[in-house]
Amino acid sequence: MDLIKELWTFLKAKKKLWLAPIILVMLILGGLLILAQGSVVAPFIYTLF
Amino acid sequence: MYILGVSAFYHDSAACLLKDGEIIAAAQEERFTRKKHDAAFPAQAVAYCIAQAGIRPDAIDHVVFYEKPFLKFERLLETYLAFAPRGFRSFSAAMPLWIKEKLFQKTMLVKDLSEVLDDQVDWKSRLLFSEHHLSHAASAFYPSPFDSAAVLTLDGVGEWTTTSVAVGQGRDLKVIKDIQFPHSLGLLYSAFTYYTGFKVNSGEYKVMGLAPYGEPKYAELIKDKLIHVAEDGSFQLDMSYFDYATGLTMTNRKFADLFGGPARQSESELTQREMDLAASVQQVTEEVVVKLARGIARETGEKNLCLAGGVALNCVANGILLREGIFDNIWIQPAAGDAGGALGAALCAWHLHHEHDRPSPAGRDGMKGAYLGPVYSDEDIEAALTRCGATFHKLDEQSLIDRVATALAEEKAVGWMQGRMEFGPRALGGRSIIADPRSPVMQKQLNLKVKYRESFRPFAPSVLREHVGDWFEHDADSPYMLLVADVQSDKRRQMTDEENALFGIEKLNVPRSSVPAITHVDYSARIQTVHQDTNPRYHAVISGFHEKTGCPLVVNTSFNVRGEPIVCTPEDAFRCFMGTELDVLAVGNFLLLKDQQDEALKENYEDRYELD
């Protein structure tokens, strides 16, 4: 939670709130990539791309 | 007030401790862990700093990290967005690392500090973050001998910034402009380091050393196609030739096509082409640095210039900058790379966050000769050498100096470990290998039999400050070996027509002066001036050599082999002594001779470290 709060404060201070949805998508994508390293979700990744 | 600066998690992690603004200890983690460029949290360097100060961990008022991880994350995301869909491979390599670890650097730092120091202290409330280039600028300005100065920082990349210009006055330090990623002089140099077959982040020195063997044939091509340089020195790269913004290599096929072939394979034979490429990128770098300096001098009106960032370790460019006379004085932070960021971050907290005044430096720098690392007492050394099974002689200081000076005059290679270890990449007479510069075979011998490194690499001289002007076209302090100047013309040897006609590496075997071991093929030398007040024992041994030979300088190279971090402890020194063809080792007041050591203690050292 701390991290999300700090990220939000950072984006507000930098006037880059428009990055928030992009960060969210990238974090999800990145999260999937981590899971894909365990190979179970790998097919899901392929359907995304 | 105690402030601990920390740099970590990318390369060259380090720690530095300030007491009321005075630098009392600083060291790189690699020296303790024996892993070159170690990027891990600098646990042992932090522990050393605390021990050196003789304080308990809860006496530390602030811990300052040298950069801002969120800013770096923002740069990564915006770069991937700007180049999408290119760069997915790099994205897929980088993102998991960030999501798992790097985004949580604050948490990681708190955890590491609790583990290493004291888990009862609320480290989170004591943690501060500085910006990467502000840390560099602070490390260059605050310890400098100037009351006011312009500050130029140049490196690969920090968060966004690759080049910054700041002005320092008293305790104030303001960044007035910067150049941002992906346009980077450091990364341009690294691209050529990669393309000429050397390792990025460590092979840049080799490119600089290789440059004098070549002709700058490609300099115009580089300026035509790769980099646009404006009159004030600001620059822009044509990113269609580079891969580093989104890929996993530095250069791409278009770059290879431009220079007529693929990148050289690491450790394959060096050809004239690599030498010409090195000479070309070196010349372009020098031009950019000089133009930047002229622009900064015009804009700020300052008479002094401070430099930091990895590019400031390019001592050839620094030497040219000095000779151009754009600024009256130049001072370069000896730990100009990321390790020095730990120092700068701590100084930012002291002067900028806490607004403490900076006393006038009165023309003296605050780095204490860069001798900021661990020191070992005679008792520690004797115990360590005994544990190692060494045969040694305990001498008084004068006898030790006489014996070492005599050994040097007899062309012996000496391992010299004395006093506190240096902070920064250069060995400055605390952890050095020293030798006779007059010997025509010394350069080759040291490279191949002691350092186990490429034969083309030059060696640097340590010269008594009082005599530097007699031997080099340079008559100022250069205590940190960060300036290059030519050997005086009366010390040079006239070349025959045949010798002049030689090309590339063939030039290496021709002695060029009365001190050939430290004279590079273009008559240049990377000078360290040795001062009685900062390193009296080193000064005394060179004076002893001077008395015996009439030569007030010695070869000085770092006490390590290729790929190994510079030695830190007496054990490290003894291991390196036994693994190489060093003849003599002087550690504190103890003298060791190779021919008196037990043969069984010799080890195969050449393959022990991964090549850099």
Give residues with Cβ within 8 angstroms of A9, minimum separation 6. none
Give the pLDDT confidence score for residue A40 in this predicted structure. 52
Is A20 touching B (CB cutoff 8 A)?
no
**Cβ pair B96:A19 closer than 8 A:** no
Give the pLDDT confidence score for residue A49 in this predicted structure. 43
Cα distance between residue B202 and residue B279, in whole Å: 18
Q: Are B117 and B125 in contact (CB under 8 A)?
A: no
Superfamily for domain range B378-608: Carbamoyltransferase, C-terminal domain (3.90.870.20)
Cα distance between residue B273 and residue B283, in whole Å: 15
Read off the pLDDT of each residue in B77-101 and give the average, rounded to a whole number: 86
Give residues with Cβ within 8 angstroms of B299, minimum separation 6. B165, B176, B232
Per the model's pLDDT, the better-predicted residue between A26 and B361 turns out to be: B361
Q: What is the pLDDT of residues B151-204, one digit of tens each?
A: 999 999 999 999 999 999 999 999 999 999 999 999 999 999 999 999 999 899
The beta strand positions in B391-535, using DSSP E, are 393-394, 414-417, 431-435, 460-464, 483-486, 524-530
**Cβ pair B77:A14 closer than 8 A:** no
Distance from the Cα of A43 to chain B's closest Cα (Å) equals 16
Give the pLDDT confidence score for residue B607 in this predicted structure. 79
Cβ-based contacts of B106 with chain A (< 8 Å): 2, 6
How distant, in Å, are the alpha carbons of B258, B470, B480, B499, B513 from that of B495? 36, 21, 31, 6, 10
Cα distance between residue B160 and residue B132, in whole Å: 9
Q: Among B126-130, B211-215, B432-436, B602-606, which is the least confidently predicted range?
A: B602-606
- The two tokens of residue A9 are 């404060």
Give the pLDDT confidence score for residue A1 in this predicted structure. 75
Give the pLDDT confidence score for residue A39 in this predicted structure. 55
Read off the pLDDT of each residue in B515-533 and give the average, rounded to a whole number: 95
* Cis preceding linkage at B182, omega within 30: yes
Q: What is the pLDDT of residues B488-499, one digit of tens each?
A: 999 999 888 888
Distance from the Cα of A21 to chain B's closest Cα (Å) equals 12
DSSP structure string for B364-383:
--SSGGGB-S----HHHHHH
Give the pLDDT confidence score for residue B389 in this predicted structure. 97
Distance from the Cα of A34 to chain B's closest Cα (Å) equals 6
**Cβ pair B99:A23 closer than 8 A:** no
Q: What is the pLDDT of residues B22-58, one digit of tens each?
A: 999 999 999 999 999 999 999 999 999 999 999 999 9
Secondary structure tally for chain A: helices H, strands E? 3, 0
Cα distance between residue B14 and residue B1, in whole Å: 20
Read off the pLDDT of each residue in B455-463 and give the average, rounded to a whole number: 93
ipTM of the complex: 0.75
The beta strand positions in B265-310, using DSSP E, are 304-308
Cβ-based contacts of B80 with chain A (< 8 Å): 26
Which CATH number does the domain B2-132+337-368 belong to among 3.40.50.720, 2.60.40.10, 3.40.50.10860, 3.30.420.40?
3.30.420.40
Q: Find, in chain A, the residue whose alpha carbon is nearest to that of B93.
A: A33
Backbone φ/ψ region at B12: left (φ over 0), alpha (ψ -120 to 50), beta? left
Is A27 touching B (CB cutoff 8 A)?
yes
The residue type found at B250 is M
Is residue A27 pLDDT above 90, yes or no? no
Read off the pLDDT of each residue in B372-395 and give the average, rounded to a whole number: 98
Read off the pLDDT of each residue in A23-48 and give the average, rounded to a whole number: 67
Sketch the domain layout of chain B as residue ranges.
2-132+337-368, 179-331, 378-608
Distance from the Cα of A9 to chain B's closest Cα (Å) equals 11
Is residue B535 pLDDT above 80, yes or no? yes
Q: For helices B315-324 and B272-300, what crossing angle results, to 10°?
A: 40
How distant, in Å, are the alpha carbons of A26, B573, B597 from that of B88? 11, 46, 57
Cα distance between residue B219 and residue A22, in whole Å: 41
Q: Are B197 and B263 in contact (CB under 8 A)?
A: yes
Best probe of the A interface among B99, B107, B110, by most A CBs < 10 A, is B99
**Cβ pair A26:B95 closer than 8 A:** yes
Q: What is the pLDDT of residues B233-268, one digit of tens each?
A: 999 999 999 999 988 899 999 999 999 999 999 989
Q: Are B153 and B166 in contact (CB under 8 A)?
A: yes
Give the pTM: 0.94
Q: What is the pLDDT of residues B559-586, one digit of tens each?
A: 999 999 999 999 999 999 999 999 999 9
Average pLDDT, chain A: 76
Q: Which residues pair with B593 in a beta bridge?
A: B584
Identify the CA nearest to A13 among candidates B217, B8, B1, B74.
Answer: B74
Average pLDDT, chain B: 95
Read off the pLDDT of each residue in B271-296 and give the average, rounded to a whole number: 97
Q: Are B493 and B513 in contact (CB under 8 A)?
A: yes
- The two tokens of residue B90 are 């790099």
β-pairing verdict for B524-530 and B590-593: unpaired
Residue B11 bears catalytic tag: yes
Taken in order B246, B247, B250, B253, the sign of the CA dihedral is negative
- Greatest alpha-carbon pair distance for chain A in Å reads 39
Is CATH 3.30.420.40 the right assignment for the domain spanning B179-331? yes
Give the pLDDT confidence score for residue B338 in this predicted structure. 96
Q: Do domains B2-132+337-368 and B378-608 have the same CATH topology?
A: no
